[in-house]
Amino acid sequence: MSKRIMIVVFTVLVTVVFVSPISLVYLITKPTVELNEQVFLKRSVLYAAGLSVPRVPTQIAELFDTRVEEKSGSGGPYYLVKSQDGQPAGYVFLRSGPGLWGEITAAVGFDAGLEKLTGVDFLRQNETPGLGARIGESWFREQFRGKRGPFTTVGEGEPAAENQFDAVTGATLTSNFVKDLLNAAVGQVGDLVK
């Protein structure tokens, strides 16, 4: 009987001893982790707005504060992008949709007339590394600038019209999920800013 109690006591003791340093490390790094999340969001919004994104986190925050204003619309918060003289230049929306393994969240930027895309960036995605995850590559994200939805896809590397984008080879499903996400955004964009 006492042996069994010893096992319980030992296990509890070891757990306390080993978990306390983790909690400490977690608490110490928590502000940094939260700051990183903020930087990720700001970076994506600036990228989708078509602005050139600085590399240094403090500069990202600075540019974001001067050029972007957070607004709340009927479909949740969105970002109003201003030109250098303070005039409205575009809008960025955070849109989520299903992906192959998990939800895809994208920052979708529109011009001031809500007609053409200024850019697309993916905030969260769990697509297959090397295949679907290539939607995070620069060539894929860059191709949306100046395009006008609703979209259809063409094969990777093929010339795309104004309402088309290059799909990722070997990742047809992911490409279609991205297409659906963007088309939903294009369809609803008029309501989102109300």
Partner 1 sequence: MADIPAPVAGAPAARPARPRGKAYKAFVDGVGANNPVFVQVLGICSTLAVTNVLTNTVVMCLGLIWATAMSNVSVSVLRRWIPPRARMIVETLIIAVWVIIVDIVLRAYLPDISRTLGPYVGLIITNCIVMGRTEAFGLSNPPGLAFIDGVSAGLGYTYVLLIIAVIRELLGSGSLAGVKILGGWWTNWSIFVMPSGAFFLLASFIWVVKGVILKEQKK
Please give the residue ranges that form the binding site for partner 1 (CB under 8 A).
3, 6-7, 10-11, 14-15, 18-19, 21-22, 25-26, 29, 32-33, 36, 39-40, 126, 128-131, 169-170
Read off the tokens for 177.
């999920």
Q: Which is nearer to partner 1, 18 or 87 (CB)?
A: 18
CB of 7 to partner 1, least distance (A): 5
Inter-CA distances, 91 with 3, 55, 85, 87, 104, Å: 67, 22, 16, 12, 20
CB of 129 to partner 1, least distance (A): 5
CB of 131 to partner 1, least distance (A): 6
Please, is 186 exposed, middle or buried when counting C-beta atoms within 10 Å of its C-beta (0-12, 13-18, 19+)? Answer: buried
Q: Which is nearer to partner 1, 3 or 194 (CB)?
A: 3
CB of 48 to partner 1, least distance (A): 17
CB of 146 to partner 1, least distance (A): 25
Read off the tokens for 92.
């960025």
- The whole-angstrom separation of Cα 48 and Cα 29 is 29
Handedness of CA 186, 106, 119, 132 (dihedral sign): negative
Radius of gyration, CA atoms only, the chain: 22
N- to C-terminal Cα separation, the chain:
69
Q: Which is nearer to partner 1, 28 or 194 (CB)?
A: 28
Q: Which is nearer to partner 1, 21 or 113 (CB)?
A: 21
Residue 152 bridge partners (DSSP): 164
